[in-house]
Amino acid sequence: MSDFLLADVRLLDPAAGLDQPGDILVRDGRIADLGAGLGRPEGVAVIAGGGAVLCPGLVDMRAELGEPGGAWRETVASAALAAAAGGITTVAALPDSQPALDEPALVRLLRARGEETGSLTVLPFGALTRGCRGEEMAELGLLREAGAVAFTDGARAIGPARLMRLALSYAGMLGARIVQHPEDPSLAEGGAATEGELATRLGLPGIPTAAEAIMVARDIALARLTGGAVHFAHVSTASALTLVRRAKDEGLSVTCDTAPPYFDLNETAIGDWRTYAKLSPPLRAEADRQAVAAALADGTIDAIASDHQPRDADDKRLPFAQAAAGGAGLATLLAVTLAQVQSGGLTLLRAIEMLTVVPARLLGTSSGTLSRGTPADLCLFDPERAWKVSAGMLPGRAQNTPFDGRALEGRVLGTWKSGRRVFG
């Protein structure tokens, strides 16, 4: 591993409130120094940054990685390629795989698979229930000891209120969060699109937006009752965000994230049964999209996650109602988020904060900063370089992007993991 100086960059570190031109010096895979006027240390390779933005490697709060049990859709290795191309150096992996991550050995295995890539730290979520079936709580203590960063059933909501109450209480004793897919299962079952005029016109079974708000309201009440910490994933509706905002004002341990489709696209993206835009939760009306964008700006939403869900062609080449929900998101996470900066909705520092230090803190990891002495996980990007998303041409195995054909500005130029260049 060679030492290097990345010179002439815009240093951006939300953890320190840093936004200034300068250089960064990396020695033995760690950040040795950063700032203006570092000079040119003898025997150190110099990489010209060309004035591009340098920030911490992105921390993706939620992604499905295919393994174990879904390697034909994605492997940890192929996901690592897509992540590196997107500037991501740490990913929290969902547990609703086959088999589910409900055994300590599987948690340790997924961590090790990440280390094998040399480019990606994988932080596994532990399954909240055995098999992620929502019936019997898994051995949370053993999963926590094995390295589970939080507990969830992934894309499956924890339906029974009593089970959620017990989970919040027990996880609280372990210092862990429960991550909920906020969708009432009885209202969402069999649905394919957001209930309303568009779904009716396309002849699609609808999911009411109330399904999200009802689950959020219930779990906020349970967090109040137990003192536990609940995190709502991919929040997508104005009504749910209002509830989260009030819970935060009350001082409850309630946090949430969203994903790029919910602030960049609305339900019209499904067009005439366009299955690449079939997601879970489904794309919403324009008023909800605007509410999500506003909640990013006012701090109601804590973090932005890729919500990466690899699906193969056979999953999507079906009638819309039967097609699998999910979209690839690793390679497009940064650029779609930057669209909010370009529109004036967010400052660049705030956008990067929601992609680095905030998800790192929520996951209990020390990554997501440019602090001296920390591993040099770095992302170098040009916020103005244009490119076009093209399904079939994305890095990695998963090509099922809802952003196919979308013109974006913001291109990753280089990614480093512990001082080793893994992209660019």
Catalytic residue numbers read 307
266: left (phi over 0), alpha (psi -120 to 50) or beta: beta
Residue 235 CB contacts under 8 Å (≥ 6 apart), including other chains: 182, 212, 216, 241, 244, 256, 257, 258, 262, 292, 295, 301
Are 409 and 336 in contact by the 8 Å Cβ rule? The answer is no
List C-alpha distances in Å: 98 to 37, 54, 69, 95, 330: 52, 37, 5, 9, 21
Distance from C-alpha of 110 to C-alpha of 101, rounded to nearest angstrom: 9
Are 331 and 78 in contact by the 8 Å Cβ rule? The answer is no
What torsion, rounded to 10 degrees, do the Cα atoms 293, 281, 405, 264 define?
0
Place of tokens 């993206």: 269
Are 303 and 362 in contact by the 8 Å Cβ rule? The answer is yes
Are 149 and 110 in contact by the 8 Å Cβ rule? The answer is no
* Type of residue found at 113: R
List C-alpha distances in Å: 323 to 135, 149, 234, 275, 278: 26, 31, 20, 7, 8
